[in-house]
Amino acid sequence: MGATEKPTQATAISTRIERITARTDVREAAQQGAKLVSLWPLTKASELANDAKYAENLQVRQTRVMAAVLTGENVTIADAEYVYEGAESIPGRPQNIVDALLAANAACDAMADYSQTQDPGLLTQAGMELGLTWDETVLAPCRQTLAVIQSERDDTSAAESRIARSLAAVITAVDGILRTVPAPATLADVIAAILAADELCETLSIPRIFLAADALHSVYAVYVDGLQTEDATTTWQALADIIVPAARDEWAKHLEDVLWDREEAKRQAKEADERRNREALAAKFSKPAQ
């Protein structure tokens, strides 16, 4: 890329980030993200333990969805947990599911240090675990978007504004990746791009995201069908429609998981059981005698 092209590229990326940041749903998601971020640094032992458990569960959930999308089969949480814990086969379960889970975990592990190093080789390695051969062209949008957002970064801004802009940058980067993969995009391309998005969130100090299987299929449809239409230049809008609510919901879940209180949960469960028993007894004795 020539020196005269760089400012144009950076300006286009910055403009796209601004447009996404201005969306109402992005601002609403950022409000939820700000509630979660406000808890840090965590100090309570229970919250630290809850957050560690959340991180483990997130990878189990991610790899389960990845394997389900790649195989088209029903992959259970138990399947994903067994493989996450080191199993290379599961009695009574198809080996292709186990192999897909092994590949998914390998891709997650390969990508894990990207937020610290921004080493494009890690993206390449993660893609290889999923059967992809991403080259420099595909990886460039991540670096370009990071360069723009980091050059404009203002750590004095309100958390909500920073999170909104960072989420917009993540969406911009993913759109750039999926618009440069060899056409047509595959489901593996989509999965790898969303894994990159997760690491970009960590890089930009915002909470991680999670996309369910239907959301991954929706992203796939955008970059297979959308790029064939006259609206190909607005794929980022369709992508934002998918990622933003997913981010909002995941951040709400993360907040709930971190604040979960085991003893309070037991107390509420006991109260609920006692209430159901009282209601059952009341219903029994309220029946007229036969």
Q: Which of 10-14, 163-167, 193-197, 261-265 has the lowest mean pLDDT?
A: 261-265
- Host domain of residue 212: 6-259
State both tokens at 93.
């379960």
288 belongs to a structural domain: no
- Flag whether pLDDT at 274 surpasses 90: no
* pLDDT one-digit tens code per residue, 169-191: 999 999 989 988 888 889 999 99
272 or 115: which leads in pLDDT: 115
- What is residue 3's predicted lDDT score, i.e. its pLDDT? 46
Q: Which of 3-7, 151-155, 280-284 has the lowest mean pLDDT?
A: 3-7
- Number of domains composing the chain: 1
267 belongs to a structural domain: no
* pLDDT one-digit tens code per residue, 248-259: 999 999 999 999
270 belongs to a structural domain: no
* Average pLDDT of the chain to the nearest whole number: 87
| CA–CA gap between residue 236 and residue 166 (Å, rounded) | 15
1 belongs to a structural domain: no
Average pLDDT rounded to a whole number, residues 28-49: 94
- What is residue 230's predicted lDDT score, i.e. its pLDDT? 45
Give percent of the chain with pLDDT exceeding 90. 60
CATH number of the domain to which 52 belongs: 1.10.3290
- Flag whether pLDDT at 229 surpasses 60: no
- Flag whether pLDDT at 4 surpasses 50: no
62 belongs to a structural domain: yes
